[in-house]
Chain A
Amino acid sequence: MQPLPTPAPPAPSTALLLADLRARISLLHRAPLHTAQNILPFGIPALDTHLPNGGLARAALHEIEGGGADATYAAAATGFAAGIFARLGAPVIWCTRHDDIYPPGLALAGLLPQRLLHMRVGSDAAILLVMEESLRHTGVGAVVGEIAQLSTTASRRLSLAAETSGVMAWVLRRPCYAGSWPTAAASGLNARTATTHWRITPHPSPVTDLGAHAVGRARWQVNLLRARNAAPATWILDACDATGCLALPALLANRSPAQTARNAA
């Protein structure tokens, strides 16, 4: 004789169910729960709705590289990262072996010199060491390292350190000094554990009110190459303003963003 079926509990709303599932999955991953406190939104709905949890996870490893002709010096990627750090509001450790970073340019994106501490070392291995030590320090907002190539082990270690302390970890990929990216075999080592992987390529900027040949706000092609729990995507965005915020370009060059928003609404 079969037992009587128990009455099913009242179905919770889908949102609650999803939130509960997410919490359980992150427990399985031993990853920190991505609540509103440890998410940094871009403030652009198109990006924030695309990314899981509505923004960039703080306690995670992110990867970024320059695209196109800017791959070598990654100036646009540097500006993109500086804008994110500017909005973090905490000290930033910048680990590098090159000496071409120029803080006055970072300050224009909102990353002021009093929040920036440079650590210059002689090798990629030393950068990884310095990054890991810095990531353990809870007083830090973000740690960024400029590295040519990143093995899976190294990126896993950085991820774990970031998840433990809640400090944002960034790897800025810079090609080797030879001026080229690592060989195909070596790039097979490239990280697969980063939460997001971005490529920032300069994009021709629109004609401004100032004249046909005047330089206005820069424009980037932002590629999300890979993200955990999100599909790859591409956006064309206006570069960081003085507070580190990106913006969606106005649909037409002659219209102000406010007008565009009105039209969209």
Chain B
Amino acid sequence: MVYAANPAARAQGLHQGMAVSTAQARSPGISLHPATPDDDRAALHRLAQWCARTLCPLVAPAPPDGLLLDITGTDHLFGGEPAMLAHIASRFASAGIHLRAAIAPTVGAAHALARFAALNFICVSPAGLADALAPLPVAALRLPAASLDILAQLGFAHIGPLGQTARAPLARRLGAALLTRLDQAYGRIAEPINPLPDIAAPLVHKNFADPVLAPAAIAHALHALLAQLLALLTAQGLGATALTLTCTRSDATSQILPIGISSATTSTTHLSRLLRACITNIAPEPGIDRITLHAATQVLVRPASPSLLAPDTHTHTDLADLIDIVANRVKNAKIFRTLPTASDIPERAARNASPLARITTTWPPNLPRPTRLLSPPHPIDVLAALPDQPPAQFIWCRQRHRIIRADGPERIFGEWWINACETHAVRDYFQVEDQTGQRFWLFRRGDGTNHQTGDLSWYLHGFFA
């Protein structure tokens, strides 16, 4: 049986509920896919969540194919109801979703207009409601199939005449349900929607009967709030990526303390440690009336069981909580790993990366590299025979270093694809040892013959172990 048909198929006369063999006989070239109602429901749910984040907070999925949005008080954000409808239409069109939508004063009318109106997009004011509903078929009233059959036998095709008929005989023939649906459509009785739970902002708060000053009391309240918040998060399969602690004081001022988290977590021990460290930053005077804890969240991808992780990822995830603690306790702490980068220029070969970066490569093991690097390199005075000989001695910080041993040159060319000035640049690096055994990394700008490659000035760039 045909479960759903796209506009192209409908244009060929195919419709929902038709036998597949009939459909194939009528249009042999159609493509058939098995129906997946569960996936459809999940997709509708995701779409509802997207609407709740971007359009209006109260959204209810209306399976199998509808979404109900309570746009009360949000349409002005888009510039009025028609503008909001246009916005929704364009967003869905850009996502490739075929959409019919209606804005109406009642749920029943919106449902009917969105599905049975002549236009794909329609916006009805309260005054025009009766006129808009009148030409719609009675099927638009969300009635059971049996009632629709009886109405057809009675000769009611459209809603308009049905609304003008005496109510008592109708109720006797068709039951009170018909009248309820009619009244809901015309707005004579209220119809609340059942929106999705608020997914955007897990938030818990605690009000105090008396203003609180003592750190112990604050710590106790935070502990309880954290437990509540984590219960909320785990129920939705989310992890916290940041916490915001808001303390509202009795003089109506409030203090907002942000707590950063490097990777989404629901670990009670870790989060309570971060919160405990934060207590010292709370200025409670003249007393805290209300504490609010709000979490920015992300779907938890990381498996909770560490045994499933490979050993190298284990160390990374282990250090995530340490990184959070340090980043939150020490202002302006720079936490990073060094990422080996394919570059011959020493300054570019080691690039700072995120502390959670996965590093798998290292530097070539056969090139001598110092353990301490000066940036920028220090200019030095050198005595050396050009162009091939390593330096014989150099003066750095008014100290004369006589060179006993030297290796080099290691010639490093400029990277013209990064900086046009380096097109001809050359550095000749020497590893040298002075009379005390201290080892230095010196370089000369230029290859010693061609002046385009550098001005033959010498620099001290680092110290070897």
Task: Spell out A's residues near B (CB within 8 Å).
Answer: 68-70, 73-76, 78-80, 82, 90-91, 93, 99-109, 112-122, 126, 129-130, 133-134, 137, 139-140, 201-205, 213-216, 218-219, 239-240, 242
Q: Is residue B438 contacting chain A, with contact meaning CB distance below 8 A?
A: yes
The answer to whether A204 touches B362, judged by C-beta atoms less than 8 angstroms apart, is no
Residue of B321, B439, B463 with highest tally of chain A CB at under 10 A? B463
Question: What residues on B are CB-neighbors of A134 within 8 Å?
Answer: 322, 326
The answer to whether A113 touches B337, judged by C-beta atoms less than 8 angstroms apart, is yes
The answer to whether A202 touches B436, judged by C-beta atoms less than 8 angstroms apart, is yes
Question: What residues on B are CB-neighbors of A68 within 8 Å?
Answer: 436, 438
Question: What residues on A are CB-neighbors of B390 within 8 Å?
Answer: 213
The answer to whether A79 touches B437, judged by C-beta atoms less than 8 angstroms apart, is no
The answer to whether B439 touches A78, judged by C-beta atoms less than 8 angstroms apart, is no
Q: How many angstroms from the CA of A122 to the CA of B360 in the assembled complex? A: 30
Q: Is residue B340 contacting chain A, with contact meaning CB distance below 8 A?
A: yes
The answer to whether B464 touches A118, judged by C-beta atoms less than 8 angstroms apart, is no
The answer to whether B372 touches A133, judged by C-beta atoms less than 8 angstroms apart, is no
In the complex where A76-B465, A114-B360, A213-B406 touch, is A105 in contact with B433 (Cβ < 8 A)?
no
The answer to whether B333 touches A242, judged by C-beta atoms less than 8 angstroms apart, is no
In the complex where A113-B339, A137-B319 touch, is A240 in contact with B465 (Cβ < 8 A)?
yes
Question: What residues on B are CB-neighbors of A113 within 8 Å?
Answer: 337-340, 350, 359, 362
The answer to whether A202 touches B332, judged by C-beta atoms less than 8 angstroms apart, is no
Q: How many chain B residues touch A (Cβ–Cβ < 8 Å)?
A: 57
User: B333's closest neighbor in chain A, by CB?
Assistant: A121
In the complex where A118-B337, A240-B465 touch, is A69 in contact with B372 (Cβ < 8 A)?
no
Q: Is residue B355 contacting chain A, with contact meaning CB distance below 8 A?
A: yes
Q: How many angstroms from the CA of A80 to the CA of B463 in the assembled complex? A: 13
Q: Is residue B318 contacting chain A, with contact meaning CB distance below 8 A?
A: yes
Q: How many angstroms from the CA of A160 to the CA of B330 in the assembled complex? A: 21
User: Which one, B312, B405, B407, contacts A114 given CB within 8 A?
Assistant: B312
In the complex where A69-B436, A133-B329, A140-B322 touch, is A79 in contact with B405 (Cβ < 8 A)?
no
Q: Is residue B375 contacting chain A, with contact meaning CB distance below 8 A?
A: yes
Q: How many angstroms from the CA of A84 to the CA of B357 in the assembled complex? A: 24
Q: How many angstroms from the CA of A120 to the CA of B333 in the assembled complex? A: 6
Quote the shortest CB–CB distance from B313 to chain A (angstroms). Answer: 11
Question: What residues on B are CB-neighbors of A69 within 8 Å?
Answer: 399, 436, 438
**In chain B, residues 348-371, which have Cβ atoms closer than 8 Å to a Cβ of chain A?**
349-350, 352, 355, 358-360, 362-363, 365, 368-371
User: Which one, A75, A119, A205, A240, contacts B372 given CB within 8 A?
Assistant: A75
Q: Is residue B106 contacting chain A, with contact meaning CB distance below 8 A?
A: no
The answer to whether B433 touches A215, judged by C-beta atoms less than 8 angstroms apart, is yes
Q: Is residue B398 contacting chain A, with contact meaning CB distance below 8 A?
A: no
In the complex where A202-B436, A215-B405, A218-B465 touch, is A242 in contact with B372 (Cβ < 8 A)?
no
In the complex where A104-B349, A118-B338, A204-B436 touch, is A78 in contact with B465 (Cβ < 8 A)?
yes
The answer to whether B335 touches A75, judged by C-beta atoms less than 8 angstroms apart, is no
Q: How many angstroms from the CA of A139 to the CA of B306 in the assembled complex? A: 13
Q: How many angstroms from the CA of A218 to the CA of B368 in the assembled complex? A: 12
The answer to whether A139 touches B437, judged by C-beta atoms less than 8 angstroms apart, is no
Residue of B340, B350, B375, B464 with highest tally of chain A CB at under 10 A? B464
Q: How many angstroms from the CA of A76 to the CA of B436 in the assembled complex? A: 13
The answer to whether A117 touches B319, judged by C-beta atoms less than 8 angstroms apart, is yes
In the complex where A121-B333, A139-B318, A215-B405 touch, is A202 in contact with B437 (Cβ < 8 A)?
yes
Residue of A74, A107, A114, A219 with highest tally of chain B CB at under 10 A? A114
The answer to whether A117 touches B404, judged by C-beta atoms less than 8 angstroms apart, is no
